[in-house]
Amino acid sequence: MGLISEVLLLPFAPVRGSAWVIRQVLTEAERIYYDPGTIRTELSRLEEQLEAGEITEEEFDQREDELLNRLETASRGSAGTGDGTAR
């Protein structure tokens, strides 16, 4: 039965390969998005934008809250998985 199903599903191999690639890209994007170093860098840039007058205090507060929430999520995720990635 295994050989027959593999032969019958062979035309779908490109789809399965594409799905694997999409999962890998998504995993890497999440790793970068929740990386504490990346978040800290974004916080620094945000503070520089505020000091340069490029954004308002309200914009700063809103974006800072979003970044701090991401950092908290990353911290919880790394504590739960042990590999530094949020899941």
Mean pLDDT of 61-77: 93
| Residue in this structure with the two tokens 């309200």, named with its chain if needed | 58
How buried is residue 32: exposed, middle or buried, by Cβ count under 10 Å (0-12/13-18/19+)? exposed
Tens-digit pLDDT profile for residues 8-61: 777 878 888 888 899 999 999 999 999 999 999 999 999 999 999 999 999 999
- Domain residue ranges of the chain, discontinuous segments joined by +: 36-78
In this prediction the pTM is 0.66
